[in-house]
Each structure stands twice: as C-alpha cells, then as structure tokens.
C-alpha cells in the first residue's frame, strides 16, 4: 500500500507539473502573439497614414514608428530563434580572441541613446573600457548577454541611472548591470531566469518584450563556464551579475573611442547584387548609392550571377543572396570559386542561425550579413573588402 501510495503521489506531482508547463507555454504563446501582432499593426497602420500625409515633420514621425516597430519585431524573432537553438542544443560555443574593451565601448555607445529616450543615463565603470584587453571566449554569446541585461535594465527603469561594470574575482571576470528601476518582488527572484515563467509574471505585463531575454542570458553564461544571479529590492532597483572565466591573452593601456561607422565615397567600384527579390535589391542598391557607388549590376538568380562575374572582370565585389531560383547562392559561390578565387563575395541572406556564417564561409564566401540588412554593418564590410587602392 505504501509503494502504491508513493506511485500515485508521483503521478499526481508529474501531472501537476505537466499542467503548469502547458499553462505557462500557453501564456508564453499569447505573449509572443502580442509581441508580433503589435508592431505589425503599427507598421500596417503607419503605412496607411503615410499615404495620407504630405507634411515632412509628420512623415518623419511615421518613419520613426516604422523603424521602432521593425526593431521590436526583429528582437522578438531573434529571441525565438535563440531559445529554439538552445532547446535543440544546436548552438555551440565558438571561442576566439577579441578585444573586450571594444565590445564594452560599443555597448556603451549603442545603449546610451536608447536609454536617453526614457531619460535614463548609462554609466560604465568597468576598468576594461580603458584597457586594450584581449579575451578568449565566445564573442557572440558575451554580446548577447550584455544586450539582454542592458535592455532588461532599461525596460524597467525610467528617469534613472543604469550602471554596468566589472570586477575580477577568483580567476573570473564578474560583470554587472545595475539599475534603480522598479525592482523584482522577492517571490519572483528565484524564477525570473526560467523559460516561459517570466512571461506570466506581473512584471512583464506592462512592458514589451518576449520575456526570454534572461533565460537566454543564463543559458549562454553557463555555456561559457560561468554563473548568473541577481540582487533586487522591489521599488529600489536590481543588479544582475554574471561571471565568465578570465581567459586573458594580453593587456595594454589605451583608450577606446566611439566607433565610426562612416565611410568615405567609393565612386570607382562596380558591385554586383545577386538578389531575386526586387524590393530587397532596391534597398541594397539605394544604401550603396548613398555611399557614392553608382555602378551597380543586378543578377536575379545564381546562374546569371556566375555568368556576369565570369564575363566582367571589373566587378569589385559580389553581394550574394543564398536562396534564389535557377541556381542557389551556395552553388553560385562554389562555381565562381572554380574560376575566380580572389573576388570578395559577401553572403546576404535570411538564414541567420549561429552556424550559418561558418557554413557560407566554408563554401567560399568571404563574409556574411544577415537580413534585414544593417546599413552600418554593410558599410563596414564594403570598407573591409573593397580593394585597398580605392578611395576609402
């Protein structure tokens, strides 16, 4: 009877856990539906309003709505991709040497204007902002952790101060992001890093976001061999800490200036855009024309792209879409490499999984940029790969 009772209790407990899991996932799906539909609704509504308005100032406001809504929608999609990859264990740690100081400076530069829109001030107290420290870890995972924690702090803070810094402790670097926002109720602190749970908390309801940022940050921190934790008082603010092993290469004194994404005019280059979607081609074409390059060729499929590169030796660089009719971008890259091993090829695609970049480089592209295209990233890549004797 004792054994039977224990079995029944275990079954009851398992049933309750399954029901709770299903309930939380339902709430999560409702939240995700809201996070997708809300910016789409704003985008569709703004497009209609733009048709009716001819005033420049009003149109500028509508353009800002489109930009913010698109950014919000992309953030939700990125969170869904990240959590899916984590659950299926498709994300692998890819360590490399990189400049930690530049990473921190970049987050400071990017977060400052975003925080300013809520009258928040970003302060960085990390010693690594001013030292040229080379670190050996996964750059993309570390960047994602910073983005999620800084975004989370800004989301729950208004007219306040957000500080991020670091300290060395027992062979680790401990980073922290501190805010004086609304804080976390004591009974929620133990669950905020769990998947799906945050989407059901009272904290997330008044604020936009998928509710997955902290669980993604936790997973990445642990994959890097570290830990993440939080100290918080409701109404007083929160401090999130995360540690990673301090696999340091070298340190020299320097000062990191704000990154300059500007690029000088490049009128003497000929660029081939291989893209089957006409709208995406026109967007790329306009971005490049704004840099002073007007000699732009268009190939609507991989087959034509291969022939154009073969017959025109003046082409300086190829922007290659991957999914195209007649011949895919992957096959086109491989065929081009059979007769031209030097022309820079940048894969530009909606395939944005963590291992996609390595795959495209392995088949012959020089680099990779995901869609939607970030114009500053595109400028950086063009500056990197166009011939050194150009007017850069």
Q: What is the average per-residue pLDDT within 141-162?
A: 91
pLDDT tens readout for residues 256-290: 444 444 444 455 789 999 998 888 888 888 888 88
Nearest to 361 by CA among 306, 312, 322: 322
Could you tell me the pLDDT band of residue 46, with boundaries at 50, 70 and 90? Answer: confident
- Say if residue 5 is exposed, middle or buried (CB neighbours under 10 Å; 0-12, 13-18, 19+): exposed
Q: Are residues 22 and 146 in the same domain?
A: no
Nearest to 229 by CA among 185, 152, 174, 167: 174
Could you tell me the pLDDT band of residue 24, with boundaries at 50, 70 and 90? Answer: low
Q: What is the pLDDT of residue 257?
A: 44
Question: Is the model's pLDDT at 210 over the cut of 70?
Answer: no
Residue whose structure tokens are 């509710």: 211
**Top-confidence residue, 303 or 268:** 303
Q: Is 225 part of a structural domain of the chain?
A: yes
Query: Which domain does 57 fall in, by range?
Result: 2-87
Q: What is the pLDDT of residue 27?
A: 60
Q: Are residues 109 and 47 in the same domain?
A: no
Q: Is 171 part of a structural domain of the chain?
A: yes
Q: Is 303 part of a structural domain of the chain?
A: yes
Q: Are residues 167 and 289 in the same domain?
A: no
Q: Are residues 245 and 281 in the same domain?
A: no
Rounded to the nearest integer, the mean pLDDT of the chain is: 81
Question: Is the model's pLDDT at 207 over the cut of 60?
Answer: no
pLDDT tens readout for residues 319-338: 999 888 889 989 999 999 99
Q: Is the backbone of residue 235 left (phi > 0), alpha (psi -120 to 50) or beta?
A: left
Percent of the chain clearing pLDDT 70 (strictly above): 82
Q: What is the pLDDT of residue 387?
A: 63
Q: Are residues 346 and 285 in the same domain?
A: yes
Could you tell me the pLDDT band of residue 20, with boundaries at 50, 70 and 90? Answer: low
Q: How many CB atoms lie within 10 A of CB 227?
A: 14
Q: Indicate the residue among 253, 288, 309 that finishes a domain.
A: 253
Q: What is the average per-residue pLDDT within 169-184?
A: 92
Q: Indicate the residue among 87, 121, 139 that finishes a domain.
A: 87
Q: Are residues 124 and 205 in the same domain?
A: yes
pLDDT tens readout for residues 67-112: 777 877 877 777 777 777 777 677 788 888 888 988 999 889 888 8
Q: Which of 6-20, 53-67, 225-239 has the lowest mean pLDDT?
A: 6-20
* DSSP assigned state of 374: P
Q: Is 258 part of a structural domain of the chain?
A: no
User: Given strand 172-179, what is the order of strands in its sheet?
Assistant: 121-124, 161-169, 172-179, 237-245, 228-233
Q: What is the pLDDT of residue 69?
A: 79
Q: What is the pLDDT of residue 339?
A: 92
Q: What is the pLDDT of residue 267?
A: 58
Question: Is the model's pLDDT at 200 over the cut of 50?
Answer: no
Cis before 282 (ω within 30): no
Q: How far apart are CA 59 and CA 211, in angstroms?
A: 32
Tokens standing for residue 166: 């670091």
Q: What is the pLDDT of residue 11?
A: 78
The CB-side HSE value for 201 (13 A sphere, CA atoms) comes to 23
Q: How far apart are CA 362 and CA 295, in angstroms?
A: 29
Q: Is 264 part of a structural domain of the chain?
A: no
Q: What is the average per-residue pLDDT within 236-245?
A: 94
Q: Is 329 part of a structural domain of the chain?
A: yes
Q: What is the average per-residue pLDDT within 228-242?
A: 93
Q: What is the pLDDT of residue 389?
A: 44
Q: Are residues 59 and 101 in the same domain?
A: no
**Top-confidence residue, 186 or 137:** 137
- Say if residue 44 is exposed, middle or buried (CB neighbours under 10 Å; 0-12, 13-18, 19+): exposed
User: Given strand 367-370, what is the order of strands in its sheet?
Assistant: 295-299, 270-274, 315-321, 345-349, 367-370
Q: Is 222 part of a structural domain of the chain?
A: yes
Residue whose structure tokens are 């987050």: 107
Q: How far is CA 374 from the centre of its chain?
A: 11
Question: Is the model's pLDDT at 13 over the cut of 50?
Answer: yes
CA dihedral 216, 219, 221, 226 (to 10 degrees): 160
Q: What is the average per-residue pLDDT within 148-176?
A: 92
Q: What is the pLDDT of residue 242?
A: 95
Q: How far apart are CA 105 and CA 378, in angstroms?
A: 20
Contact 390, 268 (CB under 8 A): yes
Nearest to 344 by CA among 368, 374, 365, 320: 365
Q: Are residues 276 and 249 in the same domain?
A: no
Tally of domains in the chain: 3
Q: How far apart are CA 225 and CA 370, in angstroms?
A: 28
Helix axes 2-52, 56-87, angle to 10 degrees: 160
Q: Are residues 219 and 292 in the same domain?
A: no
Q: Indicate the residue among 253, 280, 297 that finishes a domain.
A: 253
Q: Is 127 part of a structural domain of the chain?
A: yes
Q: How far apart are CA 127 and CA 265, in angstroms?
A: 37
Percent of the chain clearing pLDDT 90 (strictly above): 29
Q: What are phi and psi of 173, to 5 degrees?
A: -100, 125
Q: How many CB atoms lie within 10 A of CB 189?
A: 16
Q: Which of 78-82, 153-157, 200-204 has the lowest mean pLDDT?
A: 200-204
Q: Are residues 237 and 119 in the same domain?
A: yes
Question: Is the model's pLDDT at 43 over the cut of 70?
Answer: yes
Please indicate, yes or no, whether the overall pTM of this predicted structure exceeds 0.85. no
Q: What is the pLDDT of residue 65?
A: 80
Burial 337-362 (b: 16+ CB within 10 A, else e): eeebeebbbbbbbebbebebbeebee
Question: Is the model's pLDDT at 199 over the cut of 80?
Answer: no
Could you tell me the pLDDT band of residue 353, with boundaries at 50, 70 and 90? Answer: low
């Amino acid at each position: 009877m004792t054994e039977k009772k224990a079995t029944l209790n275990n079954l009851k407990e398992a049933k309750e856990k399954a029901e709770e899991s299903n309930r939380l996932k339902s709430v999560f799906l409702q939240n995700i539906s809201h996070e997708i539909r809300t910016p789409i609704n704003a985008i569709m509504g703004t497009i209609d309003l733009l048709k009716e308005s001819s005033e420049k100032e009003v149109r500028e406001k509508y353009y800002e709505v489109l930009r913010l809504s698109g950014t919000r929608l992309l953030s939700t999609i990125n969170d869904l991709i990240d959590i899916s990859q984590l659950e299926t264990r498709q994300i692998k740690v890819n360590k490399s040497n990189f400049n930690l100081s530049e990473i921190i400076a970049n987050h400071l530069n990017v977060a400052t204007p975003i925080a300013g829109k809520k009258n928040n001030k970003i302060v960085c107290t990390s010693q690594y902002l001013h030292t040229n420290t080379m670190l050996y870890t996964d750059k993309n995972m570390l960047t994602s952790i910073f983005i999620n924690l800084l975004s989370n702090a800004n989301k729950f803070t208004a007219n306040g101060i957000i500080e991020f810094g670091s300290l060395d402790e027992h062979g680790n670097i401990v980073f922290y992001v501190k805010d004086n926002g609304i804080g976390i109720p004591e009974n929620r602190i133990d669950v905020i890093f769990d998947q799906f749970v945050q989407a059901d908390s009272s904290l997330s309801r008044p604020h936009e976001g998928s509710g997955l940022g902290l669980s993604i940050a936790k997973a990445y921190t642990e994959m890097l061999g570290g830990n993440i934790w939080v100290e918080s008082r409701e109404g007083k603010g929160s401090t999130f800490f995360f540690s990673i092993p301090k696999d340091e290469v070298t340190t020299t004194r320097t000062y990191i200036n704000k990154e300059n994404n500007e690029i000088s005019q490049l009128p003497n280059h000929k660029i081939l855009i291989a893209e089957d979607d006409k709208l995406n081609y026109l967007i790329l074409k306009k971005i490049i024309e704004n840099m002073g390059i007007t000699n732009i060729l268009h190939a609507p499929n991989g087959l034509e792209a291969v022939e154009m590169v073969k017959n025109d030796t003046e082409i300086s660089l190829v922007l290659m879409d991957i999914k195209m009719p007649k011949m895919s971008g992957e096959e086109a890259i491989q065929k081009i490499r059979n007769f031209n091993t030097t022309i820079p090829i940048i894969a530009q695609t909606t395939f944005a999984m963590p291992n996609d970049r390595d795959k495209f480089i392995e088949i012959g592209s020089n680099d990779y940029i995901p869609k939607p295209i970030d114009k500053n990233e595109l400028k950086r890549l063009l500056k990197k790969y166009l011939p050194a004797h150009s007017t850069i």
